Structure 1
Amino acid sequence: MAWNYLMDMDGVLVSEEHLIPGADAFLAELRADETPFIVLTNNSIRTARDLRARLRIGLDVPEASIWTSALATARFLESQRPGGSAYVVGESGLTTALHEIGYVITDSDPDYVVLGETRTYSFEAITTAIRLVERGARFIATNPDATGPSAGGSLPATGAVAALITRATGREPYYVGKPNPLMMRSALRQIGAHSENTLMIGDRMDTDVISGLEAGLQTILVLTGISTPASVELYPYRPTRVLDSVADLVGHTQDPFGTQLDRAQQL
């Protein structure tokens, strides 16, 4: 069977601004074999073009092979209300994605309040979002992650700010990004793939693995990010396979669940 690959970015290919050893060889093998793949991220701050530049620390990932929660959110809104309007709390990755589907970004009676990741949340912007939701704007958030990583420790992320708006308005957002399998299905459509011959590689049980499972994908958990062997046992579901890193797949991308990889791990 020829496999297609979906993979998380942070914790799988990179760790903060550093390349995870073996990620370059893994992606080079996929490209050499012309294996369809797409890199996923719940972070909506950067555009796909910006992320491609960020990955140039040793990885050559085409812009078309990067799929963000901002792009998935834009595609979802285009399917729900084409040519609509939104008040956006977020950065260029999200505003660019919405502009590209023809959305008007406004604080005057928008169809939606769309919350994404940002490093500059302002009290004024959050207050505006709360008042617009109270007046009937539909509440969308790019992803439910409560925190994000940084060199100094955890940072409040989209889910934490969404909780603030929910507490003030009583309205829960609809989250588009992982673990919503909608993120997986939109990525599959992006590369023309089907769930039965696609696998998801991630470093988190609560987003990557569960969203892959719910979208009908085979899943690989790597231990180069959030998860540990002990933490895997805390969940009622399991990935198809647990590997130390994507480096273990080098030479085995066409046989990711077969005996060849088992033998290689035993050597």
Structure 2
Amino acid sequence: MAASCSPLAGALCSQVLASVDALLFDCDGVLWKGESEIPGAAALVNRLQERGKLVFFLTNNSTKSREMYVEKLRRLGFRARCEQVFATAPCAALYLRQEAKLCGSVYLIGGAALRGELQAQGIACSGTGPGPELIPGSGPVQTWAAEPLDPAVAAVLVGFDEHFTYMKLCRASRYLQDPACIFLATNTDTLLPLEGGGIPGTGCLVKAVEAASKRTAYVIGKPNDFMFKCMVKEHGVDPSRTVMVGDRLDTDILMGSNCGLRTILALTGVSTLEEAKAHQESDSPERHKLVPTYYVNSVADLLPGLE
């Protein structure tokens, strides 16, 4: 789609909202920051639903289940149901069961919520939790590296794991020596934004496993189009009448471009207008995919378009 990066206000805002049936919202940085709603975000989302619009919540975060997201949304004043939440954890489980036709279990680098979503789809998994540690002087690494692998494992899935260790990296790479072993990642975000700064994100763990195994993971989350494909399949969403609203150019806006959607950049999160303009002025077609169709200071700026 053409790189335009136009401010969305006034009559144009009303026209755009009238022309869409579905709106996809990123969460952190768009609807809330930390534990606080971005002022006016809940009023917008609720009014859109009152007007008959389909609203969906998309997130690359694999550390929370759909139920946990719905609980947070409702606590902050948003009307939300589980079927409106498209997160990498449940979508990874769907991919393994429906697309990959998994026959076997999963070696999981990830947390309890991701494990729960797999188990809810009837998928057995191992690898979560702290795991064994290498104790200095306990014996050569070669001995541990030769430990028998579980023959039932047919896939390796990497999500955010606060207990990530060298041991887990070694185990995952050994499973992936089998070319038939499926290699999946929830997302490749290298930074996990937090109030007061950021810490390394899931993408750092994915890159480590890719380097160790000399393989490339199939990525479920944004900017890939798999979550949107799930949405189309489950809800019949029409891309020509859908808009993606996000705060990150390299995930939210790029996903919208990859799916043929109009996009809105909310300037309440990670990416800036200056970054979007720099991509717009580039001669690179690939960088043009990072340019939003429109931008707003906050999603609350869309409220007048519904009056």
Q: TM-score, normalised by structure 1?
A: 0.88
The root-mean-square deviation of aligned C-alpha atoms, in Å, is 1.9
Aligned to 1:49, the other structure's residue is in SS state helix
Other-structure match for 1:122: 165
Structure 1 residue 51 corresponds to structure 2 residue 69:
yes
- The answer to whether the 8 A contact 2:102-2:154 is kept is no
Aligned to 2:61, the other structure's residue is in SS state coil
Name the CA distance, whole Å, in 2 between partners of 1:71 and 1:234.
35
- The answer to whether the 8 A contact 1:38-1:191 is kept is no
Other-structure match for 2:124: 104
Aligned residue pairs, count: 254
Name the CA distance, whole Å, in 1 between partners of 2:231 and 2:166.
34
Q: Supply the AA of the counterpart residue of 2:171.
A: T
Paired residue for 1:63, among 51, 64, 82?
Answer: 82
**CA-to-aligned-CA distance 1:8-28 (integer Å, 9 cap, x gap):** 011110112211111111111
Indicate how the Cα distance of structure 1 residues 179 and 133 shifts in structure 2: closer, same or farther if over 3 A, else same: same
Other-structure match for 2:265: 221
- The answer to whether the 8 A contact 2:31-2:41 is kept is yes
Give the fraction of aligned pairs with identical amino acids, expressed as a percent: 32
**CA-to-aligned-CA distance 1:148-183 (integer Å, 9 cap, x gap):** 012342212111011111222211211111111222
- The answer to whether the 8 A contact 2:20-2:243 is kept is no
Other-structure match for 1:14: 32
**CA-to-aligned-CA distance 1:161-217 (integer Å, 9 cap, x gap):** 111112222112111111112222223333321111111000111111111111011
Name the CA distance, whole Å, in 2 between partners of 1:33 and 1:84.
45
Aligned to 1:12, the other structure's residue is in SS state coil
Per mean C-alpha deviation after superposition, the further-off stretch among 74-83 and 4-13 is 74-83
Aligned to 1:232, the other structure's residue is in SS state helix
Structure 1 residue 30 corresponds to structure 2 residue 48:
yes
- The answer to whether the 8 A contact 1:184-1:212 is kept is no
TM alignment of 1:82-161, pairs within 5 A: 82-106=102-126, 108-109=150-151, 110-136=153-179, 137-161=181-205
Name the CA distance, whole Å, in 2 between partners of 1:112 and 1:104.
11
Aligned to 1:43, the other structure's residue is in SS state coil
Moved over 3 A (4+): none
Q: Which has the higher contact order (CA 8 A, sep 6+)?
A: 2
**CA-to-aligned-CA distance 1:104-154 (integer Å, 9 cap, x gap):** 214623111000113332333333212212244221101111110123422
Larger radius of gyration: 2
Name the CA distance, whole Å, in 2 between partners of 1:73 and 1:134.
21
- The answer to whether the 8 A contact 2:42-2:76 is kept is no
Name the CA distance, whole Å, in 2 between partners of 1:212 and 1:151.
26
Other-structure match for 2:292: 239
Name the CA distance, whole Å, in 1 between partners of 2:177 and 2:278.
38
Per mean C-alpha deviation after superposition, the further-off stretch among 228-237 and 171-180 is 228-237
Indicate how the Cα distance of structure 1 residues 58 and 242 shifts in structure 2: closer, same or farther if over 3 A, else same: same
Q: Supply the AA of the counterpart residue of 1:91.
A: G
